[in-house]
Amino acid sequence: MKKRKILMLILLVSTVLLSGCGKTFLSRLFKSEHEEYAEILTAFLAAANQNDTKKIEELFAPNIRGKEFQKEVDDFLEFYNKTAKDGTWDKDDILLGVTGSQDRDLYRVMHSSIELKKDNKNYYIYMEVVTADKENSENKGIQIIDLATKKAYDDRYFLWHSKQGIYAQEKACEDYQSMLIYGNVREYYTVDRELSVDYFKNFLKRSTSYKELQNEIGEPNGELINDEFVYEITQGANEKTYITCEVLGDEIIKLEVCNEEKVIETIYEKNSEEN
């Protein structure tokens, strides 16, 4: 009797795995993230080559779709048709970045850029896609597509867009601002104020609270990495100079003066003060 139950269970599992749902499960189980990403990008480019706006919309996450997004797609295709349409690319060029949970089916975000070649010209396309989000299914799908010409891509201030949507960059910085922090390009946000090194030195005499700093001078001009914020300062005639402010919780633990090429000086570091 026990053997019969085991046999029936095996037959049931086999039937499910051979069904459409089972094949999808097995395909995803054994497919690499690189292959999964390449398939989604291939599907997008195929839709773009055919001007299939409906298919493009289906590939994007539901929470991005809408009238404004449809206009973005039309503008993208107008540029794409004149430039990179039917361009060739190599799947081996994908250098995949992946973030999310250890469980691939819980939460997963993948992103990469590849080179498209068309009529002896090079273009570059970036895609960010959420392949799993159990808590918010509306978030699953392509988040960002960004196409750039070589002129835009080679610009020292070039950045891929970070906001959800579909974009084309003929030139860099047409609809965003960026800054160069000792060789690292980051998004730049304008804040109407004038700051100096002396201001930060005087502030440190009173407090090392980042909340207090924000209350006095407002939001930073950008972020270098997580918990390291950038403030533009006035120093010299034309030189672009910044203060980077590293925090731990609410405590400022390091302040450095830097320009576009290098760190100029460290004006505060918690550990060195303690030693």
Query: pLDDT tens across 237-274, in order?
Result: 677 999 999 999 999 999 999 999 999 999 999 986 55
Residues 116 and 239 in one domain: no
Q: Would the pLDDT of 17 be above 80?
A: no
Q: Are residues 156 and 65 in the same domain?
A: yes
Residues 156 and 110 both lie in one domain: yes
User: Do 68 and 148 belong to one domain?
Assistant: yes
Do 162 and 269 lie in a common domain?
Answer: no
CA distances from 142 to 60, 166, 171, 214, 215 (A): 4, 9, 23, 35, 37
User: Is 20 among the domain residues?
Assistant: no
Last residue within a domain, chosen from 127, 158, 173: 173
The mean pLDDT value of the chain amounts to 89
Range of the domain at 247: 197-274
Residue 109 has pLDDT above 70, yes or no: yes
pLDDT at 220 over 50: yes
Number of domains observed in the structure of the chain? 2
For 42-72, how does the pLDDT look when each residue is reduced to its tens digit (9 = 90+)? 999 999 999 999 999 999 999 998 888 999 9
> What average pLDDT score do residues 18-27 get?
48
pLDDT at 23: 43
